[in-house]
Amino acid sequence: MKKKQSIAILTGGGDCPGLNAVIRAVTKKAVFDYDMDVLGIEDGYEGLVENRFRKLETHDVSGILTLGGTILGTSNKANPYKYAVEKSGEVSFHNVAKEAIRNIRKMGISCLVCVGGDGTLHIAHRLFCDGIPIVGVPKTIDNDIRGTEITFGFDTAVQIATEGIDRIHTTAQSHHRVMIVEVMGRRAGWLALHAGVAGGGDIILLPEIPYDLDKIAKKIKARSKKGKRFSIVVISEGAKAKGGTEVVKRIVKASTDPVRLGGVGFVLADQIEKVTGSEARAVVMGHLQRGGSPTSFDRVLATQLGTKAVDMIIRKEFGYMVGVQQGTFVNVSLKDVAAGPRFVPPDNPLIKSARSVGTCFGD
């Protein structure tokens, strides 16, 4: 009797609405269409290093389409090529990739499906270069993965952030305040741009466009003179003033990417009060943007990406990520994905549209 083909799947990086929809799609298509065995790696690359996995049956993934988070767990710290080990209160990093690769090969799988953002997929590319068959699936609420125009999780985050901005409007109007809504986006401002436009933000500040405080103050004062005694500012956590740096919230020593941004909204609120005399308050959307049930769009996209990933495995198209370009699913080399994030270009059509309706970008 011919041995069943086996594949494995892991979810890495921050959690994101739609991860369970991908796990469901990969598992069900692999089982129903190709009679494969599917293994789920627990807690991302940490599970590879520690050899923690379990078999996924179709009943394990039934009913998870609408759930946020990931039933497999995840980690945004674990990197087999730079793995944190704490001893006597001191953190040191070790290359344990050989151990992770050995564990993968012991599983007897024909391919590892890596679902994650640019960090997860960068590691996936290194594993592929070290001989592991890999297929990638793009995931991030930031929508900043190179080689794809859209990632699942982004639509849900935009909806959540937009609802937050909508709710801020009423209190801003009532108290005649400048309200600042800080959203995620360390290096790319796609989330702030889309949510800011959808929520009617008067000022939108992105990492790609360093802002001038005087320009922001001028916009706020101009609105006040016209009888608009409030303003809404939507700002990416990675936004910075011209000639300035990002606002760092804390340093996580055990992480390969130790810098955690956050708090730029509060810094800007203090600055705005000083230069305009207007009362300013800041709200940080934070992890609310990553939680909860995915939108119908993200459920559909995640399902399509998951099933396409299995098709790629059957065709032995390893070393690629499933991407979306001009509405079509395409294979994107993991080497290209690993080159860095996809930024918002200054001439993006949505930026042009926003400027046309009076939105200020601080420049």
Q: Is 0.95 surpassed by the pTM of this model?
A: no
All structural domains of the chain with their residue ranges: 6-152+294-337, 157-290
Element (H, E) at 217: helix 213-225
d(CA 136, CA 124): 7
The values of phi and psi at residue 355, to 5°, are -60, -35
- Annotate 54-74 with b (16+ C-beta within 10 A) or e (fewer): eebeeebbeebbebbbbbbbb
Strand 320-325 to 328-333 pairing: antiparallel
3-class secondary structure, 164: helix
Q: Which residue has the tokens 């198209």?
A: 317
Can you state the angle between helices 264-276 and 213-225, rounded to 10 degrees? 60
Q: What is the pLDDT along the chain (363 residues), one digit of tens a residue?
A: 567 899 999 999 888 999 999 999 999 999 999 999 999 999 999 999 999 999 999 999 999 999 999 999 998 778 999 988 888 778 888 899 999 999 999 999 999 999 999 999 999 999 999 999 999 999 999 999 999 999 999 999 999 999 999 999 888 878 888 999 999 998 999 999 999 999 999 999 999 999 999 999 999 999 988 888 889 999 999 999 999 888 887 777 766 676 777 789 999 999 999 999 888 999 999 888 888 999 999 999 999 999 999 999 999 999 999 999 999 999 999 999 999 899 999 999 999 999 999 999 999
Q: CB neighbours (10 Å) of residue 112?
A: 24
Question: 6-152+294-337 maps to which CATH number?
Answer: 3.40.50.450
In whole angstroms, what separates CA 28 from the centre of its chain? 25
- Residues listed for the chain: 363
**DSSP helix/strand/coil, 162:** helix
Residue 14: Cβ-neighbour burial (10 angstroms; 0-12, 13-18, 19+)? buried
Distance CA 141, CA 196 (A): 15
Say which amino acid occupies 333: S
Q: Which CATH number fits domain 157-290: 3.40.50.10320, 3.40.50.2020, 3.60.10.10, 3.40.50.460?
A: 3.40.50.460
- CA 314 – CA 113 distance, rounded (Å): 12
Count of CB atoms situated within 10 Å of the CB of 1:
3
CB 154 within 8 A of CB 160: no
Which residues belong to the active site?
A: 142
